[in-house]
Amino acid sequence: MRRWVEIERDGRTIGTFITDGPVAQRSGLPCPYLISDTMDPTEQVDGKFYTSKSQFRAVGKALGLIEVGNEKLKPKTRSSTDPAVRRARRAQIKTAIEKFRAGHYERYFFPDGTRRRSSAAANAGSDDT
């Protein structure tokens, strides 16, 4: 049972809840955060059945198998940190800027800004052949 208690300390009154009796467990188990080593009988590639997780993993490791989900992944490296990739990207940007300044336009547009598809659709309606 919890009850409210006021305590006077250094001229101040401090209120707090006090619980009588033992602290309630978070689980009905005596050790709620313990992971069991036992499992249902499971067959390993050597043809034997194992009921212990540690033995099952030890046999797999000895045979060179990798348990999915527990393998160590290599850290990913960003391609932008590679100097060759950075040089190539800068060269492509430089070429694009030079082409733009020289008057080259994107291949899907005419120099006057009209789209190729819209002019092709307009021309498709009139057969001049």
Look up residue 35 and give its amino acid: I
Q: Where are the domains of the chain?
A: 34-66, 83-122
Q: Angle at the Cα of 27 (from 23 to 32), degrees rounded to 5?
A: 105
SS3 9: strand
- Whether residue 122 has pLDDT greater than 70: no
SS3 75: coil
Token pair of 47 as six digits: 């043809």
The residue assigned the tokens 């059945």 is 49
pLDDT at residue number 52: 93
- Which helix (H) or strand (E) element contains residue 122? helix 116-125
Token pair of 121 as six digits: 């659709």
pLDDT > 70 fraction of the chain, expressed in percent and rounded: 71
More confident: 16 or 33: 16
Token pair of 4 as six digits: 């409210």
pLDDT digits (tens, 9 = 90+) for 41-82: 999 989 999 999 999 999 999 999 888 876 678 888 887 888
pLDDT at residue number 23: 67
pLDDT at residue number 129: 46
| Cα 37 from Cα 53, distance rounded (Å) | 5
Give which of 72, 69, 74, 40 is closest to 56, Cα–Cα: 40
Query: Which of 71-75, 99-103, 118-122 tops mean pLDDT?
Result: 99-103
The answer to whether 57 touches 44, Cβ cutoff 8 Å, is: no
SS3 118: helix
- Interval 92-99 mean pLDDT: 90
More confident: 86 or 73: 86
